[in-house]
Chains A and B, each alone.
Chain A
């Protein structure tokens, strides 16, 4: 018999508290800035942390709060920097982004022991392989976030500059700086 009292009491308690929580979520909600959501949608979403913030959402919050520059996201590059500056109506100083050489991770096959730690941390599944097999990086999917480099026990994963070929070669800016015109 006593077990029924306990069941009723706990059910009532659960329902009551649940209702209270639900009501609190609705009426006491902290208004989040919708801009943060929009900016987060623009970001790569790999939560790589290269910007110095723990993830893309904290970075978006910092941007909206004016604590970070629109050039903060290295994987996003200039295209993202321009979009962010447009959205936030900020002046864009691209000089910081310009110096960055695009990088890509590469496995040194002579050192890889197939520990499988790297592809677990890769946010974009850019590393393929299996236990005790040499891993390889899919260059097109790599964002050079450095996470794999940090966990690799044999230092066989390193970031290398992307090789310039006829396909990705671009005309440099006119030699006289951007003088004239």
Chain B
């Protein structure tokens, strides 16, 4: 419960917000339309083997093999990874390089599945009571079902759950903020399937051995709040439904944690450091499917919107559906599209073309018209410091950008570049239209590249030294062997002389 006394409330830090912006929400186009689950199966599904944070999955099926819905297609590799399952029954057509849902759209290993339209399931286990399972088993099953963070990060959920259990968190935070403009898939999910989400939250609480969950919902979604509150009543007092102000980036974990619990996550730290774990509402829903019904993550709800889309709405589509098909299904006019964005317009990734597949972490595909895309001719910085006011991480974007522009990446690092979350608030408010976040992404990538090159230098040095040492050793050994041979030959000669 939130403290009621004003003084302690202020002292606790609950309700404090740093930075943030108010972008136009543009959610009305899709918010009132029910989730559309009637999209016909596409002719081909493109399942990227690397659609989560961590190691890519390794295919376990052969090309030409007939697979059934829910069957494991690619197994997870290493500690941080996620498996991939067949979204429908069909034939594995190929395993090849196909453009990735990534700003570069570089070809990446992808499994092509040709649906047969039969939707025949593998032997699915019957519905089970999740609360009869051991808590550790929840994490194992969530991992095996390939559930990843569905708010966009695509971090394997099982890894997070296990981390939360080990660090004995006190609060599970469920993110229903959906602060990005245009996106309404979480809003619709909460309105239509609130009880299932609450069930998923209870399952996660069981898996974490934790007793308290708070769902943060922005106050621009009163219907979702009402639906979730009704559902949460059935769950007893363990789940609190909290309203948070509509402010971008309210859905950033550190911002939401700060607002709802008053705790500040240290720079470079994780939410678990302050005893909190955060998951998205759609992830809670997927966890429920995975545990209660044994159903792996094979489809998701995605917002299809933007000025170039005639009938924007939320569509339930199998993973691997080409984003172009989704746009076409919603009446998209390609000639009007000036930019494609996967995710929301603030933090999403601009795609060079929509001919890439739907991935587990994609919460939206936007085809924006020219009128919706901001001007990009950057002018000089006038040092108005609006970006400083807007930055939710408390950084000085203008100072960092000017350092990066001058090539002083180390200096930018000292200004806290690593704490930038690329939320885009600074770029959004900049009156000179300076692409500030682009500078930070560029600088962060460049710093990583340099770190790698330095690491390679050290490796090279070690290898070169070892080779020299080995050659020297071989030379010494050869010399010693030659000396020994000579000595032996002389001894032989002497012995022969003595005998003679």
Contact = CB atoms under 8 A, between A and B. Distances in A.
A59 B435 CA distance: 40
A180 B450 contact: no
A44 B378 contact: no
Please classify the interface of chain A as helix (H, G, I), strand (E, B), loop, or mixed, using the class held by over half of its residues.
loop
Interface in B404-452: 404-405, 407, 432-436, 438-439, 441-442, 444-446, 448-451
Interface stretch (A9-17, A26-34, A148-156, A166-174): A166-174
A78 B405 contact: no
21 contacts: A44-B460, A44-B464, A45-B464, A46-B460, A75-B460, A76-B453, A78-B450, A122-B467, A123-B464, A125-B466, A140-B459, A164-B106, A166-B100, A166-B106, A170-B442, A172-B442, A174-B435, A178-B404, A180-B379, A180-B405, A181-B434
Contact of A80 (B108, B381, B449, B457): B457
A122 B102 CA distance: 37
A49 interface: no
B266 to A, nearest CB: 27
Contacts of A90: none
Interface in B342-383: 376-381
Nearest to B465: A45
B380 to A, nearest CB: 6
A166 B467 contact: no
B438 A181 contact: no
A77 B405 contact: no
B229 interface: no
A172 B398 CA distance: 19
Contact of B106 (A124, A165, A174, A175): A165
B454 interface: yes
Contacts of A123: 463-464, 467
Contacts of B254: none
B106 A44 contact: no
A179 interface: yes
Contacts of B441: 171
Contacts, number: 118
A92 B450 CA distance: 15
Interface of B: 50, 100, 102-104, 106, 108, 376-381, 398, 401-402, 404-405, 407, 432-436, 438-439, 441-442, 444-446, 448-451, 453-454, 456-457, 459-461, 463-467
Contact of A46 (B108, B401, B464): B464
Contact of B457 (A76, A92, A166, A180): A76
B451 to A, nearest CB: 7
Contacts of B446: 170
Interface residues of A, number: 39
Given A143-B456, A181-B401, 15 more contacts: A75-B460, A76-B453, A77-B450, A79-B451, A124-B463, A165-B108, A166-B50, A166-B100, A166-B102, A169-B106, A174-B442, A176-B378, A180-B379, A180-B432, A181-B378
Interface string A113-126: 00000000011111
A168 B463 CA distance: 23
B459 A141 contact: yes
B464 A181 contact: no
A162 to B, nearest CB: 11
Given A82-B450, A124-B460, A174 B438 contact: yes
A122 B470 CA distance: 13
A50 interface: no
A66 B464 CA distance: 26
A125 B436 CA distance: 43
Contacts of A173: 442
A143 B461 CA distance: 11
B429 to A, nearest CB: 14
